[in-house]
Structure formats: structure tokens, C-alpha cells
Chain A
């Protein structure tokens, strides 16, 4: 199957000198369900921001859905192909109503209003939000509802790749279970960055482990997460269900 994401010797250093990503090489194919794990400060979020075209001064080669992210045109075009759900939903829901928020992406893609409405309805349906939510205000929603709206806002843009940064944080068990069901019902390629390794086991087939900006290992989820020595060495624990 063809590659959707091609990362070749990717490195990035913040302005304060902190080297967040060091010589990362990896490929993600269409339909892959990847879990990105690692301790705090491993470079997971920076990697996501680089894939999303937000960070531009990296070195190496990076292609996402045929967009060359080393060029400004590529970084601009990638927004139509890749969707990112941020850790804090409040940061992502910046419009005054749920409808306006989900429609934000489609309207930026210059869709006409009828098509944008259709996309909004479709996205709300796929995350199990009833149409009554359209007029709701984002700041009146619960944590789980906010997360669903944030995902719907990204799905409405019909991306080829979905990136989720700590999607299960701040969710109660029911919200977490519902999110797992939503994610498993989606067909698209996705990368989930999280500390919740049980969540990774339930939603991903492949795991990439980052530590101190380096790619440590890349393999089948069960195999990587059950390696106790590897997990402990990089500040993680084997999920209880694998012990």
C-alpha cells in the first residue's frame, strides 16, 4: 500500500536551543492506526505540529498526503489533508456555537454553505452528536462533548490523516469508552499520541515509541507495549491487560 506520511531524517530545534526532534525516519501507510507513545518531553506534540505544517524551520524531508512540507505551499495545502485534535478541547473550540465551530474548516476550504452544512451534519453523525447540539455554546459542553465537537470539527474537513493529541485525557470512563468506539468506527489513517497505553491497545495496531526527540522503536502494538524492559527504560509501564 502507498505511503501517506514519509518522514526522512527529520530534526527540529526550538529557538531556546532545545532539540525536540532528532533524526526521525518513519513511514505511515494508508489505513494505518498508529499509537505514538513516550514520556513527557519526548517530542510527540512537536512531531504532530510539524506534520500539521505549523512548524516550518525543521531539517530533513517530510511529505504528508503528497504535500511537501519543506515548502510553504505544501504546508498550506496540508491543512486540507490532515486534521489534528488538540489535547485541550477548549483551545480548539474557538467559535461561539457548535455549528460555527464545526463549519469553520469547511468554510475555510471555500465550500459553499450547502456543502458545509452537509459536512457538518455528516461529521456530527459520525461522532454521535445529535443535531440539537448545533446551537449549543462550546463553553456549556461537558469534557466528553467538547472532545466530540473537536473531532467533528476536524472530520468535517474530510482529512486523509487524523492526529489526536492525548484524546482520552480529561474524559470520564464513559466518555473514554465512547471515544474508543468513535475512533474504531472511523476508517481513516490516524496517529494517536497518548500516555494511556490501554487506549492505544484498543485503538491502534502499530506503536511508535519516542524518547528525548528520538524514535526508539516502531512495531506491532502488542509486541512493543508488552516489552517490559523497553517500557521501563523509557519511563512507561506495560499496560495491565498485557501482564
Chain B
């Protein structure tokens, strides 16, 4: 299992060069603003802003499409259900009656979700996970939460490798996954074994940390440095967020 995020986080682009603390703070503001918009045209504007961020990141189109593909698994059902279930002006197309308001709401929801996911991709794929978490720590996120997330991120790959090895071990002994109790029983054993191993590993990791002087904090060698351009990009993001909110509020009003 490879860490795809880390691969793209090592590339170079204006978004990659942006100080992680400012980037995290600015993009969180933008993402929350996008989540709050109610108008379809403002949601479309949000999508254009997010798309611009992703383009600036110079991420491959195939990666974006793959990520958006996963998102559509959740969005398509909304598009199918909302026009038929939401209240509002009904329009009949042949034997089918759909709600205009429901359709517009579904479209707004779709654009908003796309915008948020694209902005999140720009954030996550332009910064290594450890740096992002360190940045969150500097922004006063709870230290324990950061440490737990750092360790989880580190060991999730080890855990995945163990699960793969167990799957191979099962396959080499003639196990085929089927819809029966034996399969459920075997898979439950596999998950249980993984949990037990994880528990034992946690103990060993803690001992290893203690032996290297762990005293509650995980310090880093990374030195965050703010450049004038970081302030400017952050200010631009805040202004964009305010404009989006104003456009949404004034026009709705």
C-alpha cells in the first residue's frame, strides 16, 4: 500500500509552496463558506474557485476524476431522489412530475459538494500529512488529537499490509469468500486478530517512544516560515469567502 497523498505532496506549485499553517486556515475558511452558500450561481462560483485551486496545484486530471468518481457514489442518489421528493413548483414531463425547486436544490447541493471536495483535494494533495497535522497543532488543534492522528496515519499502512498478508494466507489455504456463515466467521476472526495485534503493537510502540525520551509531546524539526505572499494569498482567500457570503446573502435577501 502506497501513500498517494505523500507522492503528490512532494510536487511543486504555488499552492505547494504556500506555508502549511496559512494554507490550512485559509482553505478551511473557504470550505466552510462554500458549505454555507444557498444559491446555485454562488455555488457555481465556488466550484470555479476550487477548480482554479486544483489547477494551480498541477495535479493530474486522472487523480481528480478518480476522487470525484468516488464522490458521485453519494451524489447521484440525491440527484435521483430530490427532484421527486422535494416540495415546490411541480413540472410534468410526460407521465413524470418533478419539482423545480427540488431539482435546483439538488443542483446546488451537487455544485457545493464538488467545490468542497475540490478545495479539500487542493489542500490534502499539496501538503504532506505530517506537515498538515503539525500546522493544525500550531493553529491550536488539541495536541493529543494531533499525535493520535499522526500515529494512526503512520500505522494504517502497516495494518493494511498485515490484512493483505492475512488475506493471502487465507487464499493459499483454499479460502474463498462466499455469502455464508463460515466466511463471516473467518472474516470476523481476521478482524479480531488484527485488533489484538494492534493492541500489542500499541504497547510496543509506546515502549519504544518511552525509550527515546517521549514526554508527552512529539517535537518536529520542521520550521514554519511565513512569507509576504502567504499573507497576500490568505487575505485573498478571506476576501473571496466574504464576497461569496455577501453574494449569497444579498441575492437571497
Chain A residues within CB distance 8 Å of chain B: 49, 52-54, 79-80, 82-84, 86, 88, 90-97, 99-100, 103-105, 107-109, 113, 116-117, 120, 135, 137-140, 153-154, 157
For residue B6, which residues in chain A have a CB less than 8 angstroms away from its CB?
A: 137
B32 within 8 A of A: no
Complex: chain B residue closest to A113, CB-CB = B221
Complex: chain B residue closest to A75, CB-CB = B210
Complex: chain B residue closest to A88, CB-CB = B204
Chain B residues within CB distance 8 Å of chain A: 1-3, 6, 10, 128-130, 150-151, 153-155, 157-158, 161, 201, 204-205, 207-215, 218-223
Measured CA separation A91–B150 after assembly (Å): 14
Interface of A is mostly: helix
Q: Quick one: which of A88, A97, A135, A153 contacts B212, CB cutoff 8 A?
A: A153
For residue B212, which residues in chain A have a CB less than 8 angstroms away from its CB?
A: 79, 83, 104-105, 108, 153-154, 157
Measured CA separation A83–B212 after assembly (Å): 7
For residue B214, which residues in chain A have a CB less than 8 angstroms away from its CB?
A: 104, 108
Closest 7 CB pairs of A and B: A108-B213, A96-B130, A107-B219, A105-B212, A91-B204, A139-B157, A79-B213
- Are A95 and B154 in contact, with the CB atoms below 8 A? yes
For residue B3, which residues in chain A have a CB less than 8 angstroms away from its CB?
A: 137, 139-140
Measured CA separation A107–B128 after assembly (Å): 21
Q: Quick one: which of A80, A83, A94, A96 contacts B129, CB cutoff 8 A?
A: A96
For residue A97, which residues in chain B have a CB less than 8 angstroms away from its CB?
A: 128, 130
Q: Quick one: which of A52, A100, A109, A120 contacts B211, CB cutoff 8 A?
A: A52
For residue A91, which residues in chain B have a CB less than 8 angstroms away from its CB?
A: 201, 204-205, 208
- Are B208 and A94 in contact, with the CB atoms below 8 A? yes
Interface centre among A91, A93, A135, A138 (most CB of B within 10 A): A91
- Are A100 and B223 in contact, with the CB atoms below 8 A? no
A–B pairs, 13, beta carbons within 8 Å: A52-B211, A53-B211, A79-B211, A79-B212, A79-B213, A83-B212, A95-B218, A100-B130, A103-B221, A104-B209, A108-B213, A116-B221, A157-B213
Given A94-B154, A135-B10, A137-B3, is A54 in contact with B130 using a C-beta cutoff of 8 Å? no
Measured CA separation A90–B162 after assembly (Å): 12
For residue B222, which residues in chain A have a CB less than 8 angstroms away from its CB?
A: 100
- Are B207 and A54 in contact, with the CB atoms below 8 A? yes
